[in-house]
Structure 1
Amino acid sequence: MGAIVTSEVGNVSENGSVEMRGRAKEIIEQFRRDGTISPASAVSAEFDVWDQVTPGWITFATLKALVKIRWEKGESAAEQVPMKPIPSLSRGDATLVLRAFLGDISTMREVRDRGLITLASVVGLLSTMVEEDDLSEQQVDVLLEFGEETCREILRTGNPLRPTLRGVEVGPWDASEAGVLGPDRIDLGGLIIPSPVGLEIQPMRDGDDILAVTAVLGSTAIQLQAFRARDGSSWETIRHQMKDRMQAQGGVVKEWAGNVGVELRAKMPVTTQSGRRAIQDLKILGCDGPRWMLRGIVTGLGDDADSRDEWPYEMFMNTVVVPDFSNAEDSGICLQWPPPAK
């Protein structure tokens, strides 16, 4: 695990940041030593303060980072529950808390409403998992620094479900934001997408118009489609409309805090080519840009909720939208198929 945990994180120079991380570390060490948090430490943690970086918030963000690292190594929420009991949590409740930390928004609401996210539960889980993983002091320091920087990113963007601001460090980008693009790109007119080795692309046509493109790599595909933004056409609004429509069709749909913000994860009833009834898994990503919205629908092996396949997210975040507002009547941004390579 050390090779993962000791990845480079942003440098933080403020003395206050070092002090906050130091106090967070003291609280974790106190719990590991005494199995409890002293009243004075609980007060100094400022766990209920979320508009500035506090020791309590750093422990929260650090636990989330550690849960994600374990998940990337193949451990589900249930598998991550420590063998050592957590004083403030049953094993079932601990599973719910860890599932919420992985991004399940409905579970987030449940654990919040039940009051399961407390300083004691967060520090208890974090300190016990650090002990189980036998992390060194240096590894813990790196995790805490990453947790602190995550808190600062959230304060900068104002959105805890999307801690990185689109158009600054990551995409999807507007054509005006993209700067100089590398050579490994496919220009589709309304979209410019990455072209990793082995990628296949398939058009979705409506007569002579190309409305979307499906990018296929291995056993996973993502369909990319861009729309002009109009009144009421934000990703949040469309996401809720899609959720209601899919549920009306008999699907099971959840909102999930994923790599690019809030996404939908759905299980939809379908009829196969042979006429049999089956269930299809979908992940639906979305992002608002300047006067446009990009949607991505992930299918195949990467659509599973526990899939570690990251390339569809990377494809989505590295897509450039080139909006054409000449046809104001059409909500979709049509694409152009690239000419054959010479």
Structure 2
Amino acid sequence: MKSREKAIQILENMKKAIIGKDEELEKVLVCLLAGGHLLIQDVPGVGKTTMVKALAKSINLTYSRIQFTPDLMPSDITGITLYNKAEEKFIFRKGPIFNQIILADEINRTSPKTQSSLLQAMEEGEVSVENTTYVLRKPFMVLATQNPLEYQGTFPLPEAQLDRFLMQISLGYPQQKEEEKIIRNYKNNKTLEHIKPVVNEEDILAMQSEVDEINVHDDILKYIIGIANTSRIHKDIHLGASPRVSIDLYRGAKAYAYIKGRDYVIPDDVKAIVPYVLSHRIILSAEARIEGRKTEKIIDDVLERTYVPVVKSIEG
């Protein structure tokens, strides 16, 4: 795994901008290496945008930020066809989605119609405009931020949209000592001039290719399916994990094993990412919501109810 060291360099580079959130940054890297998309839900001002910008600068890919507002239109994302009088023909002007790292900022402040304009790009890596399909340049990753739904002016993301995000994370408020460092470094973090690229497009593609080669034992695959099945029959869950969730657990576990220095997946790799892959994609039952049960606790119970295989070293 020649590129594994470079993956760790990305992580260390991002830590220069985001202080005290090592576990969350690790999941961002997992999502990138697995070829997935990331949803970041948190209150304003905790560093969501800074984290995405630090990632973009670290990996030296094309980057665009889309500020989602109530009046944003799908064509503001995908692009628009204009008539060129000089050439007497229509010309398609590409929108910001035609970059590699997309920051969809405050995605739940726009209408469901505009939110859905991201679906094809996220699922198929393509954009269709007026009977023409454009293939997006790889690697391609959408990192969307959203405010909690109780904030005014927000629209809940449809289940189909949520299901396109491999993971959801939350940064949360920093500890006191960490906040002191953030305040002292606020000038650097405003411009991120101290963040320099450590890898390029070829490096990222090589890492993703190596992640694909990570070994997954049949018992681990059955464990992943077991977690999904347990979520589907759990009394506190109305809508359990879809087959796409199982696929994403498979992809994410391989990426997690990769950055941990292994060429094979163990049960702990799966356990480490389950909360981030499931939390935004299961719907609690009405009784569970009324009784105030937490999604995190229910996911923990799903893991406890699922048989964990004992897998010996299967390296090679």
Normalising by structure 2, report the TM-score. Answer: 0.29
Greater relative contact order structure (CA < 8 Å, 6+ sep): 2
Normalising by structure 1, report the TM-score. Answer: 0.27
Report the structure number with the largest CA radius of gyration. Answer: 1
Greater strand content = 1
